[in-house]
A and B are shown apart, each in its own frame.
Chain A
Amino acid sequence: MKLFLFRLFILSVFFNLFYLSSPGSTWIKNETNAIQDTTTFVSKFDSLNNRCFKCHGQPRYEYTNESLGKVVRGNMCSDRVVHKGEFYSSNHRSFSCTDCHSEEYAKFPHAGELRMEQKYNCLDCHGGDTKFAKYHFEEIDSEYRQSIHFKMEDQGFTCWKCHNPHTYKITVRNSTNLKSTIEYDNSICLNCHSDYSRFQLLSDRKEINIIQKHDWLPNQALHFTNVRCIECHTQINNNIPVSHLILPKEQAVRLCNECHSQNSLLMASLYKFESRKQRRDGFLNGIILNSSYVIGANRNEYLNLLSLIIFVCVIGVIVIHIIFRIRKNNRTY
Chain B
Amino acid sequence: MYLYPKWIRAWHLINAIMFLILIITGISMQYTDKGNPAYVVGFAKAVKWHNFAALVLIINYIFFVTGNILTNNGRFYRLGEKGFLSNLQKQMRYYSWGMFKGEKHPFPVTEERKFNPLQKFSYVLVMYIAFPLLIISGIGLLLPEITITTFFGISGLILTDILHITMGFCLSIFLIIHVYTCTLGARPTSLFWGMISGYHRED
The interface of chain A, by Cβ under 8 A from chain B, is 1-2, 5-6, 8-9, 12-13, 16-17, 19-25, 218-219, 221-222, 255-258, 260-263, 289, 292-293, 295-296, 298-300, 303, 307, 310-311, 314-315, 318, 321, 324-325, 327-328, 332
Contact = CB atoms under 8 A, between A and B. Distances in A.
A22 B147 CA distance: 9
A85 B44 CA distance: 44
Contacts of A307: 169
A22 B145 contact: yes
Contact of A293 (B30, B79, B139, B157): B157
The 7 A-B residue pairs with the shortest CB-CB distance in the complex, in nearest-first order: A256-B43, A21-B149, A293-B157, A9-B132, A261-B33, A19-B148, A5-B128
Given A1-B78, A257-B32, A292-B155, 6 more contacts: A5-B128, A21-B145, A218-B47, A255-B37, A256-B42, A257-B34
B132 A295 contact: no
Nearest to B101: A328
A324 B165 CA distance: 33
B199 interface: no
A21 B33 CA distance: 31
B59 interface: no
B155 A293 contact: yes
Contacts of B34: 255, 257-258, 261, 263
Contacts of B155: 289, 292-293
A307 to B, nearest CB: 5
A311 B173 contact: yes
B147 A16 contact: yes
B128 A324 contact: no
Contact of B139 (A16, A20, A219, A289): A16
Most chain A CB neighbours (cut-off 10 Å) among B68, B79, B141, B149: B149
B176 interface: yes
A303 B136 contact: no
B136 A16 contact: yes
Contact of A314 (B48, B65, B166, B176): B176
A310 B136 contact: no
A146 B69 CA distance: 66
Contacts of B42: 256-257
A2 B136 contact: no
A222 B31 CA distance: 21
Contacts of B78: 1-2
A6 B100 CA distance: 40
B2 to A, nearest CB: 24
B146 interface: yes
A19 B136 CA distance: 14
B169 A295 contact: no
A24 B144 CA distance: 11
A314 B32 contact: no
Nearest to A19: B148
Given A219-B144, A257-B37, A296 B32 contact: yes
A332 B149 CA distance: 61
28 contacts: A1-B79, A2-B69, A5-B132, A6-B65, A12-B132, A12-B136, A13-B136, A21-B148, A21-B149, A22-B145, A24-B145, A25-B145, A218-B44, A218-B47, A218-B51, A222-B144, A255-B34, A261-B34, A293-B157, A293-B158, A295-B161, A296-B32, A296-B33, A298-B161, A299-B31, A307-B169, A325-B99, A328-B99
